[in-house]
Amino acid sequence: MEKLLVGLKRLEYRGYDSAGFAMDDDDDDDEDEEGRKKRNAKKVIIVCREVGKIANLEALARKELFGEDDDDENDANNNNNNNKASSKSNNSSNGRKKSSSSIKPLDFCASIAHTRWATHGPPNKINTHPHTSDSRENEFVVVHNGIITNHAPLRAMLERRGMKFETDTDTEVIPKLCKFLSDKFEESGEKDVTFRQLAMEVTRQLQGAYALVFKSTKYPGELVAAKRGSPLLMGISDDSGEVSCVIDGNLSDGAEEDVLLKKASGNKKRKSMTGGAAAAAAADADTTTTPTTRITTTTTTTNNPKVEFYFASDASAMVEHTKRVLVLEDDDVCHCHDGTYKIYKVEKQKHPHPGYTSGHDSPEYGLYKPVVLSKEVERTIETLEMEVESIMKGEFDHFMQKEIFEQPEAISSTMRGRLVLDVLGAAERVMLGGMSQFAATIRRSRRIILCGCGTSYNSAIAIRQLFEELTELPVTLELASDVLDRRCPFFRDDTCIFISQSGETADTLKALEYAKAKGALCVGIVNTVGSAISRATDCGVHINAGAEIGVASTKAYTCQIVAMVLVALSLSEDSRSKHTRRDDIMQGLLKLPGCVKECLKMDAILLELAQELKEEHSLLIFGRGFNYATALEGALKVKEVALVHSEGILAGEMKHGPLALVDKHMPIIVVCTNDGSYEKQQSVVQQLKARDGRLILIVSDDDTEMEKTAPDAVILRVPKVEDCLQAVVNIVPLQLLSYHLTVLRGHNCDQPRNLAKSVTVE
Ligand code: UD1
Ligand code: BG6
């Protein structure tokens, strides 16, 4: 348990709202492993879950499992409904409380743990991982990082077959499928199905992204880990610090099998050891960061009998125990048992969406034989060269920097399961589960009001034009605090869209309550599942950007825009006249993560520019049309973290005041990528140049005109995307610039002076 809790604590920096673990307990304290096996007695799995900090989970576990609290009896009897999951875990550990000193070391111990950032159902105990096939028996328990996009049809199928679901999560279908298929295999006489085969049959049914670790009373002492789309590392340690399994030799399958069998038959040696001879811990976080630690390769092979395996989505969870890791690849399934492990690669299925439940060989149609083909593969063990502290932020120095670089993956998460592809991989349509019931009402609205604070308000500015174009409704923008100050006239036939990363901003929440009181339909665009705004709105879209820790919002901004593009597309799906435009945007969305990735390659150029600008006291940013928001958001970033005065200006307003500020000392950024505003921006650049302005131009990568217009300007080239998506790409160089300016000026970018991540007071 200590190892699991320490692993979870190491993942705290990623942000989470709840945590849990599952581990073995013996049903008979006085019986050793051998005796238990002879009796064919099942191990009991204890599951413990808690909302909030890891310290809460630890306190609960100490109380419930070890009775380290005087009030434990009362508490154990007083579990209320909200405490359901943990009361279940009480049941599984009932009568088994023991003092830490009386605990007998297990010979084989396989445990799993997880920190959750809710994407699927609010953060409460019931929704916290590990999820189980049945919370009384805990026969199959699973932790999952990622999103299962076809959980709804799977759940419906399993419910039709009599399975009872207990949580709101997408993950719960996984242990339920384990149980369902395992029972069916047994009924069909397939009694020798291994844990690995079972897990492969289960993952075959899943669409979406996952890093999974499975544990079961049916397969005691074993763990299976599987991955597709979400990061998963495996760590290997033993008491000599050497690797104890054959992993990287050039052995044929058969030879490797032999060595592994020999090792397995050396159980005696392992069993004589104390402290859990073969322990496997899995810790996992419900976020999608890919650790990008530098690694070197080793191929050590020894015969040390004491070995521990770790699985985690992030090296920080295991680095205290081992620096020897291997990176699992998509469709890898790793099986740990009897002190050994093997990795198998699932062979690609013939049809494009493996596991779709309507397929002829799906459980729906009663095929209860393992069908997945796989072959054993080798993965190289590498040695992490980093210490815990640096691994927490990956290769990054600050969370702000990390979150800027996470944007390609975060944008993909926002679109996952919502931008539906055809068999050729082209975007076909948009599916927003949470909005579909309300789409007709929104289309009939008199107007749409977009409302938020700070960066979230800027994302509303970025999307306004597309909303107007695709919905053909009047779209107005409101700063949340201003709604309250002005007591805005809102009506029953208005649709108010509230945008918020945290979902807790007091002004936005109050404006939402005000709009509700006026009878308007309230929609949320929110990152934090279970937050006040997400709960109080009639419907909405979670942007699924993952936890954002840096106070300056970066990835939430770009993901909010993407989520709202999806909303605009779904509201206009019936419009024939907009078919071509909608199609162009959808295909553009598919390319967007790649274009943002391209932009991130400009990092060194932006560092150089920041060095040039670091002593400046003021910076102006001009934008218009789709990129007025880029100017405002870029300026907000510079002022809030670099503590440099900066103004984002609508370029059309230049002559009405701002031009007076322009001289040869004033650095001015002009966003002039190639869209409908291009010619007007060219004229803006000419006028600024005529007044000797120090120009920095953000232009499309194929632009040849702007450098002719302003030969002395610093030119920043960004990939050209569909005009309404360009703001997502254009903000990236400005985020990088503000980040580097902050660091060079010696300020704290993650916690800037006087600012808070979540402003929960008016
Ligand atoms: C849901 C799952 C998602 C899964 C997808 C696949 C949740 C939280 N999300 O996503 O993990 O991939 O199904 O089918 O279960 N809502 C509000 N206000 C808000 C935001 C959301 O009321 O501010 C509501 C929505 O209307 C919806 C629910 O919360 O009823 C979940 O929203 P969202 O996660 O965006 O829905 P899906 O995209 O369907
Ligand atoms: C604060 C944050 O000001 O609140 C900003 O520092 C954020 O980064 C703003 O944009 C609004 O927060 P939210 O959570 O409602 O998007």
Q: What ligand is nearest to the CA atom of residue 419?
A: 1
SS3 280: strand
Closest to 537 measured CA to CA, from 567, 558, 572, 574 = 567
Mean pLDDT, residues 158-184: 94
Element (H, E) at 112: strand 108-116
Evaluate if residue 317 carries a pLDDT over 50.
yes
Residue 34's pLDDT is 60
Q: What percentage of the chain exceeds 90 in pLDDT?
A: 57
Q: For residue 320, what pLDDT band results from cuts at 50, 70 and 90?
A: confident
Q: Is 454 in the pocket of ligand 1 (CB under 6 A)?
A: no
Q: 682, 705 in Cβ contact below 8 A?
A: yes
pLDDT(270) > 50: no
Question: What count of other Cβ atoms lies within 10 Å of the Cβ of residue 557?
Answer: 30
Residue 65 neighbours by CB under 8 Å, 6+ apart: 1, 46, 48, 93, 96, 97, 98
Q: Are 736 and 404 in contact (CB under 8 A)?
A: yes
Ligand 1 pocket residue status of 529, Cβ below 6 Å? yes
CA distance 283 to 110: 12
Distance of CA 716 to the CA centre of its chain: 30
- pLDDT confidence tier of residue 63, bands split at 50, 70 and 90: confident
Q: Which residues, judged by CB distance below 6 Å to any ligand atom, belong to the binding site of ligand 2?
A: 453-456, 500-502, 505, 508, 551-553, 755, 757-759
- Whether residue 335 has pLDDT greater than 70: yes
pLDDT of residue 701: 96
Q: How confident is the model at residue 360 (pLDDT cuts 50, 70, 90)?
A: very low
Strand locations in 624-709 (E):
645-650, 667-671, 694-700
Q: How confident is the model at residue 33 (pLDDT cuts 50, 70, 90)?
A: low
Q: Which helix (H) or strand (E) covers residue 405, if one does?
A: helix 399-405
Q: Percent of the chain, pLDDT > 70?
A: 79
**Ligand 1: which atom is nearest the Cα of residue 152?**
14
HSE of 249 in the Cβ direction (CA atoms, 13 Å)? 16
pLDDT at 600 over 80: yes
Q: What distance in Å separates the CA atoms of residue 466 and residue 475, rounded to the nearest whole number?
A: 10
Residue 284: its pLDDT value, please? Answer: 45
**pLDDT over threshold 70, residue 675:** yes
In this predicted model, what pLDDT tens digit does every residue of 299-315 receive, in sequence order? 333 344 578 899 998 77
pLDDT, the chain, mean: 82
pLDDT band per the 50, 70, 90 thresholds, residue 12: confident
190 is written with which tokens? 């397939």
Q: Give the pair of three-digit tokens for residue 15.
A: 């942000």
Residue 417 CB–ligand 1 contact under 6 Å: yes
Q: Give the residue from 284, 215, 270, 282 showing the smallest Cα distance to 238.
A: 270
Query: Element (H or E) spanning 587, and its range?
Result: helix 579-600
- pLDDT, residue 349, reads 59
Is the CB of residue 725 less than 8 Å from the CB of residue 565?
yes
Buried b (16+ CB within 10 A) or exposed e, 168-203: ebbbbbbbbbbbbbbebbeeeebeebebbbbbbbbb
Does ligand 1 come within 6 angstroms of the Cβ of 537? yes
Span 587-607, mean pLDDT? 97
How far apart are alpha carbons 414 and 561 in whole angstroms? 10
CA distance 624 to 627: 5
Query: Side-chain half-sphere of 441: how many Cα atoms within 13 Å?
Result: 16
pLDDT category at 546 given cuts 50, 70, 90 is confident
What pLDDT is attached to residue 390? 54
pLDDT of 53 over the 80 cut: yes
Question: Would you say the CB of residue 119 lies under 6 angstroms from ligand 1?
Answer: yes
C-alpha distance from residue 472 to each of 445, 464, 740 (Å): 11, 11, 41
SS3 246: coil
What are the distances in angstroms from CA 740 to CA 497, 620, 630, 642, 748?
A: 33, 17, 18, 8, 11
Closest atom, ligand 2, to C-alpha of 755: 6
Q: Which of 233, 327, 277, 208 is nearest to 10 (CA)?
A: 233
Q: Which residues have C-beta within 8 Å of that of residue 208, sequence separation ≥ 6? A: 146, 147, 148, 149, 150, 151, 170, 229, 416, 417
Give dist(CA 508, CA 453) in Å, integer. 7
| Spacing of C-alpha 246 from chain mean position | 33
Say which ligand is closest to the CA of 504: 2
- Would you state the structure tokens that stand for residue 528, as one six-digit string? 């934090």
Backbone phi and psi for residue 173, each to the nearest 5 degrees, phi listed first: -60, -20
66-75, 237-246, 597-606: least confidently modelled range: 237-246
User: What's the average model confidence in pLDDT over 460-479?
Assistant: 97
For residues 164 and 76, which has the higher predicted lDDT (pLDDT)?
164
Going by pLDDT thresholds of 50, 70 and 90, the confidence category of residue 423 is: confident
Across the range 629-652, mean pLDDT stands at 96
Asked which of 23-27, 105-109, 168-172, 624-628 is least confident by mean pLDDT, the reply is 105-109
Nearby residues of 195 by Cβ (< 8 Å), 6 or more positions away: 214, 216, 218, 219, 222, 224, 335, 337
Cβ-proximal residues to 755 (8 Å cutoff; 6+ apart), any chain: 551, 640
Binding site membership of 442 for ligand 1 (Cβ less than 6 Å): no
Separation in Å, CA 572 to CA 82, 416, 436, 475? 41, 20, 12, 15
Which amino acid residue places its CA nearest to atom 28 of ligand 1? 434
Q: How far apart are CA 109 and CA 196, in angstroms?
A: 17
For atom 3 of ligand 1, the residue with the nearest CA is 120
Position 515 scores a pLDDT of 97
Q: What is the 3-class SS of 523-572, one letter each residue? A: EEEECCCCCHHHHHCCEEEECCCCCCCCCCCCHHHHHHHHHHHHHHHHHC
How far from 692 is each of 465, 665, 685, CA to CA, in Å? Answer: 32, 8, 11
pLDDT-derived band at 237 (thresholds 50, 70, 90) equals confident
Q: Which ligand is nearest to the CA of 116?
A: 1
CA triple 654-660-662, angle to 5 deg: 85
State the average pLDDT over residues 506-515. Answer: 94
pLDDT at 455 (0 to 100): 97
Tell me the angle at which helices 628-642 and 454-471 cross, rounded to the nearest 10 degrees.
170
Amino acid (one-letter) located at 76: A
Centroid of ligand 1 to alpha carbon of 564 (angstroms):
14
Q: Which residues contact 228 (CB under 8 A, 6 or more apart)?
A: 203, 206, 209, 210, 330, 331
For residue 717, pLDDT over 70 is answered with yes
* Cβ of residue 474 lying under 6 Å from some atom of ligand 1: no
Q: Which of 735, 757, 762 to mutate to test the pocket of ligand 2 (most atoms within 8 A of CB)?
A: 757
- Return the HEC string of 604-617: HHHHHHHHHHCCCC
The pick from 502, 633, 751 for probing ligand 2's pocket by mutation, whose C-beta has the most ligand atoms within 8 angstroms, reads 502
3-state secondary structure of 232: coil
Strands 332-337 and 223-228, sheet pairing: antiparallel
* Distant-in-sequence contacts of 157-164, Cβ < 8 A, 24+ apart: 157/357, 157/362, 157/363, 157/364, 161/363
The residue contributing the CA closest to ligand 1 atom 25 is 434
Q: What's the sign of the alpha-carbon dihedral 384, 386, 388, 394? A: negative
Integer-rounded Cα radius of gyration of the chain: 28
Determine the 3-state secondary structure of 489 from DSSP.
coil
Does the pLDDT value for residue 359 go beyond 50?
Answer: no
Contact residues for 171 (Cβ-Cβ < 8 A; gap 6+): 120, 129, 131, 142, 144, 148, 151
Q: Which H or E run contains 284?
A: strand 278-285
* Ligand in closest contact with the CA of 173: 1
Sequence-ordered alpha helix ranges (H) in 205-306: 253-265, 267-271
In angstroms, the CA 637 to CA 639 distance is 6
- Kindly report which listed range (219-233, 258-272, 630-644) carries the lowest average pLDDT score: 258-272
Question: If pLDDT is split at 50, 70 and 90, which confidence band does 385 have?
Answer: low
Q: What is the mean pLDDT of residues 465-469?
A: 97
- Which segment of 209-213, 615-619, 658-662, 752-756 scores lowest on mean pLDDT? 752-756
- Choice between 623 and 14, residue whose per-residue pLDDT is larger: 623
The pLDDT of residue 392:
61
Confidence of residue 498 (pLDDT cuts 50, 70, 90): very high
> Which pLDDT belongs to residue 302?
39
Model pLDDT, residue 11: 79
The burial class, CB within 10 Å (0-12 / 13-18 / 19+), for 719 is buried
Residue 374 has pLDDT above 70, yes or no: yes
Give the model confidence (pLDDT) of 435-458 as tens digits. 989 999 999 999 999 999 999 999
Query: Mean pLDDT across the stretch 681-709?
Result: 94
Cβ pair 131, 142 in contact under 8 A = yes
123 Cα to the center of ligand 1, angstroms:
13
pLDDT at residue 659 tops 60? yes
First to last CA, the chain: 42
Q: What is the pLDDT of residues 551-563, one digit of tens each?
A: 899 999 999 999 9
> What separation in Å is there between the alpha carbon of 434 and the centre of ligand 2?
23
Give nearest CA residue, ligand 1 atom 4: 149
109 within ligand 1 shell (Cβ under 6 A):
no
In this structure, what are the phi and psi dihedrals at residue 592, rounded to the nearest 5 degrees? Answer: -60, -50
pLDDT for residue 297 is more than 50: no
Q: What span, in angstroms and rounded, lies between the C-alpha atoms of 552 and 740?
A: 13
* Whether pLDDT at 708 is above 70: yes
The pLDDT value recorded for residue 271 is: 25
Q: How much is the average pLDDT of 223-235?
A: 90
What is the predicted pLDDT for the residue at 327? Answer: 86
**275 CB-near residues (< 8 Å, 6+ apart):** 105
Question: CA 735, CA 641: separation in Å to the nearest integer?
Answer: 10
- For ligand 2, atom 15, name the residue with the nearest CA: 500
**pLDDT in the model for residue 86:** 36
